[in-house]
A = this chain, B = another copy of it.
Amino acid sequence: MIDATPMPGHPIAWAMVGGGQDSQIGPVHRSAAQRDHGLQLVAGAFDIDPVRGRQFGERLGLDAQRCYADYRAMFEAEARRPDGIRAVSIATPNNTHFEICRAALLAGLHVVCEKPLCFTTAEALQLLELSRASRRIVGVAYGYAGHQLMEQAREMVAQGELGEIRIVQMQFSHGFHSEAVEAASAAARWRMDPAHAGPSYVLGDLGTHPLYLSQLVLPGLEIERLMCSRQSFIGSRAPLEDNALALMQYRGGAMGYLWACAVNSGSMHGQRLRVIGSKASLEWWDEHPNQLRHEIQGRPAQVLDRGMDYLHPAARQEDRIGAGHAEGLFEAWANLYRRFALAMHATDRGDSLALGKIRYPDIQAGVEGVRWVENCVRSADAGGVWIDYR
């Protein structure tokens, strides 16, 4: 049970790039990072408008001198301080992730980055190399991965409770963009603009979430071939898609289906992971994260609840309150940030044994997300053909 008493070696001095005024995701990062006192916000370059950014930082109680005009100034100034930041989170539009992440690693900082890391696999691999060379971690904000029942699913798969894995269904399909809301919403608009969003909308913005869940739960799966079909039901969104379906053939013959959609009218999130094995299936929906359905062929379907003694220890160690009480997305994020903070500390003290035990969406996960979108776009743009995954 996490009881919010401090973790040894923490908090780590931390800053944000982006996530200022009117950002939805900024408060989530700050709440999660500081929930268990793993990180502590001491600096920031919150806004493209320096004045607004500084005012925002001051409202958060930061020293005005540590509210910077941009990330370059911040990394440089903080490096000169004895109490300077050791970690930074990047919550800016997609097109800036690569350069900020790269600069942060070059500045010797640990990084937590919003997905996607960047727009091309080549760039992602550069960051991977840089992360290794600089001995700094990069955590990726796949927040749903912090839900504890994903650990339960991973353990059940690992222990063979599902048998041989045959089919993986992934879905993130909401309806909030069924109409051209981007005309009135800046937050929606940049996501549909290739210059800011990159080569895809729903594949990257939505699809990589359940994709990462599948990678977390099924670490052995490797995509061999893939085909993707994408559409822009609101025509002005082209070339970016608001609906896409990807089929994956994994090495060994299992199949994966991923549906990402922003025009699924009337649906809330619609994020789901279903793993089908030769003996049993697991199913989980992010809107009801405290329940995991376990369906053994020939036996009554079961519903597992977070916090219960029958769960694997790995699915219990981040409990914050007893079973029956609803934990939500903020707890999942806090779990992730807790692991990021633990991984930073283990890295800093060179404790590779400890580091190896901390599971979190890391730079490799970030690379894989970028690679997957790239392959999907390559297939879709070739007319929805099967391609060898690379």
Are B266 and A227 touching (Cβ within 8 A)?
no
Are A265 and B276 touching (Cβ within 8 A)?
yes
The answer to whether A80 has its CB under 8 Å from any CB of chain B is no
Q: What per-residue 1/0 map shows which CB atoms of A278-295 lie under 8 Å from chain B? A: 111100001111100011
The answer to whether A257 has its CB under 8 Å from any CB of chain B is yes
Is the interface on chain A under 10, 10 to 19, 20 to 34, or 35 or more residues? Answer: 35 or more
In whole angstroms, what is the CA distance A290 to B289 when docked? 12
In whole angstroms, what is the CA distance A319 to B57 when docked? 21
The answer to whether A190 has its CB under 8 Å from any CB of chain B is no
Q: Which of A255, A268, A288 has its CB near the most chain B CB atoms (within 10 A)?
A: A268
Are A265 and B289 touching (Cβ within 8 A)?
no
Q: Which of B243, B286, B305, B325 contacts A255 (CB 8 A)?
A: B243
Tell me what chain A mostly uses at the interface: helix, strand, loop, or mixed.
loop
Q: Which of B3, B56, B247, B301 contacts A245 (CB 8 A)?
A: B247
Known A2-B27, A24-B321, A257-B259: A297·B178 in contact at CB below 8 Å: yes
Q: Which of B175, B255, B325 contacts A297 (CB 8 A)?
A: B175
Select the stretch in A113-121, A359-367, A381-389 that faces chain B.
A381-389
The answer to whether A160 has its CB under 8 Å from any CB of chain B is no
In whole angstroms, what is the CA distance A10 to B296 when docked? 42
Q: Which residues of chain B come closer than 8 Å to A60, judged between CB atoms?
A: 5-6
The answer to whether A263 has its CB under 8 Å from any CB of chain B is yes
Q: Which residues of chain B come closer than 8 Å to A176, judged between CB atoms?
A: 297, 323-324
Select the stretch in A28-36, A87-95, A196-204, A338-346 that faces chain B.
A28-36
Q: Which residues of chain B come closer than 8 Å to A81, judged between CB atoms?
A: none
Are A175 and B281 touching (Cβ within 8 A)?
yes
Least distance between A181 CB and chain B CB atoms (Å): 10
Are B290 and A287 touching (Cβ within 8 A)?
yes
* CB-CB nearest in chain B for A259: B257
The answer to whether A350 has its CB under 8 Å from any CB of chain B is no
* CB-CB nearest in chain B for A386: B384
Q: Which residues of chain B come closer than 8 Å to A383, judged between CB atoms?
A: 386
Q: Which residues of chain B come closer than 8 Å to A5, judged between CB atoms?
A: 56, 59-60
The answer to whether A261 has its CB under 8 Å from any CB of chain B is yes
Q: Which of B4, B245, B295 contacts A27 (CB 8 A)?
A: B4
Q: Which residues of chain B come closer than 8 Å to A310, judged between CB atoms?
A: 298-300
The answer to whether A320 has its CB under 8 Å from any CB of chain B is yes
Are B297 and A300 touching (Cβ within 8 A)?
no
What are 24 of the A-B contact pairs (CB < 8 Å)?
Answer: A3-B27, A28-B321, A37-B61, A162-B265, A166-B243, A178-B279, A179-B297, A227-B227, A229-B249, A231-B255, A245-B247, A264-B281, A265-B278, A265-B296, A286-B326, A287-B326, A298-B308, A301-B303, A302-B303, A321-B329, A325-B329, A328-B329, A328-B331, A385-B386
